[in-house]
Structure 1
């Protein structure tokens, strides 16, 4: 890309959530019955009472832990930092969609779901009739919240584009999957480590780098908060380039050649 056309930049979180369940109790009221044949009221009949013995349900308050990989990290090192992760094999199994098929390759900036840490528990007191409903609701809510906060992406071009689009949506940066994919394939053929050492930018000492061939000044100027500061990081590179394209051309979708 020429210098004038190489100015681009932008989860995580790769964000954690807490969950607390609350219970409710109920009581039944007894109503007096009036005899149809007598002038005075009969002894009030007691309606069946809800069992007064309280049942308790202990609901864990959980916060998802996300770890951002730094240079020199290995799954073993990360597992040692978080003993409750269950070791590197369990850590890999939980993050395989993000890491890919080779557990030995984890790139800086990658976000791993290490596990959860307990923030204590909430004891919910309920009547016998309400216990099962409350417990079921609590479990459903907890499962839904954890699943929503643990969104992962494949460690390939498809996953990088999808993660970038989610970051872009939060930052208000326009662009589509097709627009990004088309430009990535033209600029780097999908190689996140691509570098141009022969054009005018390279001659000026600022070669174009990464999936969308961004020069360093452009990346720094249009970097999007929440993404890696490594220009070769696929998500950071795509997002910064799309941010630049949005400011210059309205959207990456409008870019069909060197920019």
Structure 2
């Protein structure tokens, strides 16, 4: 049985279709004091539940814990938790003395209600070690090749930095042709950062900028502007997690992006492909 969180309803349905499992009915209500209660309809005889819930907000974290507990309370023996996007995953260390390792705290909480966890492209793969149950990390970047036009002109796949070049390589390899490069960032001041492609020429080429997360969109929009200024024929963005905090989408559009392609780990209007097949392979 697939149990979708409110932030992962389309992915839950896609995963149910991919695996042939039933899709649970989930209801939500709020008490007068504002507290949430999520309840799950669990048919008799169900012994395994797959909870699928992106934790994009604090409320989504609470909802995930409740969904886990609800299926346990209904008598389900085995719970697998799929976290398509893990909120707080980028706080994988204490940045200053006295600050928490928030990813660890969140992982420990999730671990209490499940037998296993599946993460999709966490920003730092090391967060898997914070879980107290077995944790499988899957990469979905290759799925982003599917919605790209088949006739890209001399395509170039760019990652935001050298450390993320494997994402660009995954999309390029799935697409079947093209070059891979990465951006170099030079910080001139606390607010001024220069972003340039490291080696590859971009003039007259179709460029796809690949990242795991687009959050504020600041670096991505600057990258798009640089590429357009250097004569790229077309600049599109492919990202696994379209978080799009505040005015991120507007920044990308103002910078001149031609298209944005994303997966359904976070369900947005730019979702172009599902990670359901990738997740189904490890369930």
TM-score, scaled to structure 2: 0.24
**Per chain length, whose mean CA-contact separation is higher, i.e. which structure has more relative contact order (CA < 8 Å, sep 6+)?**
1
TM-score, scaled to structure 1: 0.26
Higher helix fraction: Structure 1 or Structure 2? 1
Between structure 1 and structure 2, the one with the greater Rg is 1
